[in-house]
Every structure is written in structure tokens, then in C-alpha cells.
């Protein structure tokens, strides 16, 4: 499979930690920017125990399964196994980005970066442990394969932003080589370029020798990961125009007062390019509130629909007995799925879930009638504000009704569908 030269298109992931936020909370946010005709679904998988020797079939390859996997909620392109972003029952959140650099991208089918997101969430109960899970899998199985449901190849390396109630980690890769940076306060974001410079807490044991062997680093000056493995001028990353810079400026603008609603507004920002439009567009969005007080629940908001400016951020809380989120789950095609059959991607099935279909119809109304479109927007904004207010009440009072939380996301999805009627 040969790569096609594609204009680098990626996403944006953000994290804000005290004192940048209001209250003792960490706020995580991500836009998933993908091909505009791709459906993103919101799915839930419960915790599970697995037999020794059991395998798990990822998007392209089969790997060894872990003895135990944690409950996860995922926002993912509906054709693949992994996820663009998600959270687990322990308050770990992960988002990934496509990155390119000097190291050639491998077209061979291995683990996708999106597979690594899901595997990190299923196997790690802290952000730091997730770093370890991902780099161990990267070393054992490698990363590679087509990242788009098409016979045309779209391949890239991956970066990850991983957060929990305590801290965040940036993990960036170039082939099998990687570096990780710990973030304990303030704001940080990643986009479609390497961003770790000289602040490196962990790294691939051979990365410096490899850089010297390639002539990318002289072994004398301070080791700068982004400068060594990419073509980016690291001295200008936060001052030159581009989504990484624009996202950083938006975070800094609100530093000290960042809430979940602030993060949602950043993800909806079109002028910056963060809310992307065109052939690649924002097809799903996520915002999470991670209270540092462990007695309070983490709350994860997902859209499951394109363009966050015309979508509802719906809350999800991990509690026992959650069932699958049917109205945001795409049809399943089993062994007949064109992703599974060789040669892959010869046809593309209709993967739209119920919420996607309703949102798609409403978007057409919004484009054809300003009056009707404004009415729909007013209804969905009101619904979102009500849910945010309810979640804030839970966080302020610690009054979580687990029976209601079981269907929290599903009921909000029903309300959103009704708002589009």
C-alpha cells in the first residue's frame, strides 16, 4: 500500500489544570477532524476479565489481550476498532493527533494510533500508566496502516494527550521512537505537529543514538525532540499562525477561568480553524471534567455528530449497569464489513447511526431556512445548558443518583433527537 501525499489534516486536543481552571478540576477537550463523510459513533464497553492466551482483534492486527480491561466510553470513526478519543472508569482521558516528520511513515498494517488510544484506556488506571501501555505496545507491534476508510492511503505517526485527575502527559511518536512530557499545571495543547521540545520526562532508550546516526542531532547541544524529528522551527511554534498556535492562544486567553463551557467554546471556534470545515471537518468532539477530589465523579461530554457549533455536548458518567448507547452506535456488518475483506475498502457501507441521521436532516434545515435553523439551535443550546447545569449541581453537592446516571447519555440523546424534530 503506497501513501498518497495529503495536506496534513489533524485534530486538536487540549488540557487545562489548576490554577488555569476554576475549582480543583482538570478540563480535557478534543476535536476529531476527519473526512467529512465519515461517521463518528459514541460507544461504551464494560470492564471485562479475559482468559490466559486470549487475543483481541484490533483494526488490522490481532494482539495479546490483557487479563483485565477497564470500562471505556469512546468516540470513534465507526469503521475501526480503536478510537479518536475517550475515557475510562478511572478518569483517564486520551486523544490522539496525526503528526508527520523526518521519519518515514510505515504503510504496513500494524496498530493504528486510534487502536493505541483504546488500548491505553482499557489497560491503564492513570495517565502515566497509559504512557507505559502505549509505548510497550508500540515497541512490540509498531504503528501503521491506512487511517481512512478508502482504497487511497492516509498514514501518519501519532501524538497523544493523556490526562487523569492528577496530571497530564504528552506522548509523541516518530515511527517506533517517542518522547513524553509531564504536565502538572497550567495549559497545554497538541495539534498536527510535534510539540515536545527539551522538557522530556521519558523517552525511547535508543532515541538519541538513532538521531545521531541519522545526522539529525550532533549529540552536543541540548536534545530537542520536535526540532530533531520534524521540520518545525520550535522557537516559533507558539507565535506562528496555525491551529497549534491558535489553540494555545485561546487557552492562554482564558487561563485562570477555564471551565467545561470554556473548552466547548474553544472547540466551536471556527475563525482559528479548530472547528474545521471542508473535506476534512470536525466530525466529533469531547470535553471532560476531572475533579481532583476523588469522591466526585468525572463527567465526559460527547457530541457524536459533526460540527460542535451545531451539536449538543451530552454528559456521560461511569456507573454500574450501563448498557450500550444504541442511538449513537453504528450498524455492525461483521465478517462482511469491507474493512475486514481483502482487498480492503472496495465499497463503503452506510454507517450512519440514528442520532447522526437526525442531526444530518436538521443541518439541511439550518442551511435552507435561517428562521427554522435558529429555532433548532435555540432548542439544542437550551438542552445543553440544562445538562451542564445539572452536572454542575452534582459536582457542587456530590449528589449523584446512580440510577439516573445509568441512562444519562442515552436520555440526553433522546432529548436531542426530539429537539431536531
All three cell numbers of 85, joined, read: 478519543
- The whole-angstrom separation of Cα 163 and Cα 259 is 16
The reply to whether 302 falls in a domain is yes
In a domain, 118, yes or no: yes
Distance CA 239, CA 260 (A): 26
| 4 located within any domain | no
Torsion (CA) 19, 20, 24, 30 in degrees, nearest 10: -150
- The helix/strand/coil state of 15 is strand
Total domain count for the chain?
1
CB 237 within 8 A of CB 193: yes
- Residue 33: name the closest of 115, 82, 96 by CA: 96
Taking a C-beta distance cutoff of 8 angstroms, is the pair 179, 228 a contact? no
Check: CB of residue 353 under 8 Å from CB of residue 78.
yes
Q: What is the pLDDT of residue 241?
A: 59
Which CATH number characterizes residue 122's domain? 3.60.60.10
β-pairing verdict for 314-316 and 280-291: unpaired
Q: How far apart are CA 124 and CA 36, in angstroms?
A: 32
Residue 298 bears catalytic tag: no
Domain contains 2: no
Q: Give all strands (DSSP E) within 108-266, no chain letters.
A: 157-163, 168-174, 177-183, 186-190, 202-203
Domain with 155, as residue range(s), is: 12-420
> At a CB cut-off of 8 Å and minimum separation 6, what does 342 contact?
none
Cα separation, 326 vs 139, whole angstroms: 36
As a whole number of angstroms, the distance between CA 370 and CA 351 comes to: 29
CA dist 127 and 168 (Å) reads: 6
Task: Give the C-alpha separation, 96 to 245, whole Å.
Answer: 17
- Residue 421: predicted pLDDT: 87
Bridge partners, residue 389, by sequence:
none
Terminus-to-terminus CA distance in the chain, angstroms? 44
The residue count for the chain:
421
> Which among 194, 191, 217, 197 is positioned nearest to 101, based on CA atoms?
194
Residue 174 in domain: yes
Ranges of the chain whose pLDDT falls below 50 = 1-8
Q: 127-141 and 113-123 are packed helices; what angle lies between their axes, rounded to 10 degrees?
A: 130
Phi, psi of 29 (to 5 degrees): -150, 150
Position 1 in a domain: no
Confidence at residue 126, expressed as pLDDT on a 0 to 100 scale? 98
pLDDT value of residue 1: 35
Using CA atoms, how far residue 240 sits from 10, 57, 204, 236, in Å, is 17, 42, 29, 6
Which residue out of 11, 93, 298, 412 is catalytically annotated? 11
In a domain, 3, yes or no: no
pTM for the predicted model, two decimal places: 0.96
Amino acid at each position: 500500500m503506497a501513501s498518497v501525499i495529503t495536506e496534513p489534516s489533524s485534530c486538536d486536543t487540549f488540557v487545562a489544570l489548576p490554577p488555569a481552571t476554576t475549582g480543583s478540576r482538570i478540563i480535557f477537550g478534543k476535536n476529531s477532524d476527519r473526512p467529512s463523510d465519515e461517521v463518528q459513533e459514541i460507544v461504551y464497553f464494560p470492564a471485562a476479565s479475559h482468559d490466559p492466551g486470549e487475543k483481541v482483534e484490533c483494526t488490522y492486527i490481532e494482539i495479546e489481550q490483557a487479563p483485565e480491561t477497564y470500562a471505556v466510553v469512546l468516540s470513534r470513526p465507526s469503521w475501526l476498532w480503536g478510537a479518536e478519543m475517550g475515557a475510562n472508569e478511572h478518569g483517564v482521558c486520551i486523544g490522539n493527533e496525526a503528526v508527520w516528520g523526518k521519519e518515514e511513515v510505515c504503510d504496513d498494517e500494524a496498530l493504528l494510533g486510534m487502536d493505541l488510544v483504546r488500548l491505553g484506556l482499557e489497560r491503564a488506571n492513570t495517565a502515566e500508566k497509559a504512557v507505559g501501555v502505549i509505548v510497550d505496545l508500540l515497541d512490540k507491534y509498531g504503528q501503521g496502516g491506512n487511517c481512512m476508510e478508502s482504497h487511497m492511503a492516509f498514514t501518519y505517526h501519532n501524538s497523544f494527550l493523556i490526562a487523569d485527575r492528577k496530571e497530564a502527559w504528552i506522548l509523541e511518536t516518530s515511527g517506533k521512537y517517542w518522547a513524553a512530557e509531564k504536565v502538572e499545571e497550567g495549559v497545554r495543547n497538541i495539534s498536527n505537529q510535534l510539540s515536545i521540545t527539551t522538557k522530556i520526562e521519558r523517552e525511547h532508550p535508543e532515541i538519541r543514538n538513532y538521531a545521531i546516526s541519522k545526522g539529525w542531532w550532533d549529540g552536543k547541544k541540548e536534545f530537542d525532540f520536535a526540532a530533531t524529528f520534524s521540520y518545525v522551527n520550535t522557537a516559533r511554534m507558539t507565535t506562528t499562525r496555525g491551529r497549534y498556535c491558535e489553540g494555545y492562544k485561546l487557552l492562554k486567553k482564558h487561563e485562570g477561568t477555564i471551565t467545561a463551557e470554556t473548552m466547548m467554546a474553544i472547540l466551536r471556534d471556527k475563525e482559528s480553524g479548530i472547528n474545521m470545515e471542508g473535506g476534512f471537518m470536525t466530525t466529533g468532539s469531547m470535553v471532560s471534567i476531572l475533579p481532583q477530589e476523588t469522591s466526585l465523579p468525572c463527567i465526559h461530554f460527547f457530541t457524536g455528530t459533526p460540527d460542535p457549533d451545531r451539536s449538543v455536548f451530552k454528559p456521560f458518567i461511569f456507573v454500574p449497569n450501563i448498557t450500550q448507547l444504541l442511538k449513537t452506535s453504528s450498524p455492525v456488518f461483521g465478517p462482511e464489513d469491507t474493512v475486514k475483506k481483502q482487498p480492503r475498502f472496495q465499497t463503503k457501507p452506510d454507517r450512519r447511526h440514528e442520532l447522526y441521521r437526525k442531526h444530518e436532516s436538521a443541518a439541511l434545515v439550518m442551511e435552507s431556512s435561517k428562521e427554522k435553523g435558529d429555532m433548532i439551535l435555540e432548542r439544542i443550546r437550551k438542552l445543553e445548558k440544562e445538562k451542564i447545569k445539572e452536572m454542575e449541581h452534582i459536582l457542587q453537592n456530590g449528589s449523584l443518583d446512580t440510577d439516573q446516571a445509568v441512562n444519562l447519555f442515552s436520555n440526553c440523546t433522546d432529548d436531542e433527537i426530539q429537539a431536531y424534530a
